[in-house]
């Protein structure tokens, strides 16, 4: 796992609550890359390329400054955190992200963009304690605690889940650099940068050949009509068992082959390529049309 804790801030719960109350009033809309998720997944842009309150697509700014959206003025505490904790000269996008009773399937980010992936620097801070909400990064599952500022290695295969209805509002601040950089350059406030914190890594059960065989036996129940459901089911398993998130797609391909449906095999291979391989900016994918 390359994701790690960069530092921690003490959240002012009274000020935070006012911002969270505003965010709860913003209507939920269809998300960019909503094929990656099911359930409640709500992203609200606070800073982005255009200042548009509905502009949710992450893209390169090419040296231009990120603009505050109409939402930024309604969340003064989060706006203060963004502009005083982080290096706004490198800011690409800042948004709140919430996930409830939902999963974002394993994927890699930035593959549709121009920079070398190591020049993108995604930070993530959970704002609320949600005990059944987790992130994964390659070989590790993480439970983030409120106030921890994480470097999230979005160029690796990663996933996020909330197995509960507890709100897991979070602040995702994306920075980008033009060349070699030290990660402390991500911060305007040097006192916040304090790496080396011990993360909360939940225990996962061992994964055996028997588990794999039970998974592949889903060939007995998979249909084109539940293909998407099977994918989301498979994507949840690596949070419980010690197995790589990318195995989700190899299981889906294996199940589809065993079911003997060539179209299904093709779609399983395509979603694997789309999520963790290469894709074009704005390219979309359908799990439900055949
Ligand atoms: Fe991601």
CA distance 86 to 181: 15
Q: How far away, in angstroms, is 40 Cα from ligand 1 center?
A: 16
28-41 burial, b at 16+ Cβ within 10 Å, e below that, comes to: eeebebebbbbeeb
Q: How far away, in angstroms, is 210 Cα from ligand 1 center?
A: 30
Q: What is the pLDDT of residue 33?
A: 66
Tens-digit pLDDT profile for residues 153-165: 988 999 999 999 9
Q: How far away, in angstroms, is 220 Cα from ligand 1 center?
A: 31
pLDDT category at 207 given cuts 50, 70, 90 is very high
What is the share, in percent, of the chain residues with pLDDT greater than 70? 99
CA distance 95 to 171: 6
Q: How far away, in angstroms, is 263 Cα from ligand 1 center?
A: 27
What's the mean per-residue pLDDT of the chain?
93
Tokens of 96: 């709140």
CA distance 198 to 69: 35
Tens-digit pLDDT profile for residues 16-34: 999 999 999 998 887 766 6
- C-alpha atoms less than 13 angstroms from C-alpha of 184 in its C-beta half-sphere: 8
Query: How many Cβ atoms sit within 10 Å of the Cβ of residue 288?
Result: 10
| pLDDT at 87 > cutoff 70 | yes
Backbone angles phi, psi at 137, to 5 degrees: -145, 110
Q: How far away, in angstroms, is 257 Cα from ligand 1 center?
A: 28
Domains of the chain: 4-186 (2.60.120.330), 209-276 (1.10.1720.10)
CA distance 96 to 107: 19
Higher per-residue confidence, 258 vs 64: 258
Q: How far away, in angstroms, is 211 Cα from ligand 1 center?
A: 27
Tens-digit pLDDT profile for residues 51-81: 999 998 888 887 888 999 999 999 999 999 9
Q: How far away, in angstroms, is 23 Cα from ligand 1 center?
A: 21
């Amino acid at each position: 796992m390359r994701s790690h804790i960069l530092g921690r801030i003490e959240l002012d719960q009274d000020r935070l609550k006012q911002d969270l109350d505003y965010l709860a009033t913003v209507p939920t809309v269809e998300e960019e890359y909503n094929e990656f998720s099911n359930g409640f997944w709500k992203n609200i842009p606070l800073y982005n390329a255009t200042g548009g309150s509905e502009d949710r697509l992450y893209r390169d700014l090419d040296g231009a400054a990120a603009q505050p959206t109409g939402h930024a003025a309604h969340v003064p505490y989060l706006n203060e955190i963004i502009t005083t904790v982080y290096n706004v000269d490198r800011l690409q996008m800042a948004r709140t992200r919430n996930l409830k009773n939902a999963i974002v399937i394993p994927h890699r980010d930035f593959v549709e963009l121009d920079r070398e992936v190591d020049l993108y620097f995604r930070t993530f801070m959970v704002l609320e304690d949600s005990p059944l909400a987790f992130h994964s990064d390659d070989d590790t599952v993480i439970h983030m605690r409120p106030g921890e500022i994480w470097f999230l290695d979005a160029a690796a295969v990663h996933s996020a889940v909330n197995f509960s209805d507890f709100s897991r509002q979070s602040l995702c601040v994306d920075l980008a650099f033009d060349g070699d950089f030290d990660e402390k350059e991500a911060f305007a406030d040097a006192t916040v940068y304090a790496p080396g914190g011990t993360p909360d890594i939940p225990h996962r059960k061992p994964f055996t050949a028997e588990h794999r065989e039970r998974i592949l036996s889903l060939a007995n129940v998979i249909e084109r009509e539940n293909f998407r459901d099977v994918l989301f089911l498979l994507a949840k398993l690596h949070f419980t068992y010690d197995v790589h998130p990318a195995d989700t797609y190899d299981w889906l391909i294996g199940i589809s082959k065993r079911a003997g449906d060539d179209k299904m095999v093709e779609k399983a291979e395509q979603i694997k390529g789309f999520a963790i391989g290469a894709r074009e900016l704005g390219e979309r994918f359908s799990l439900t049309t055949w």
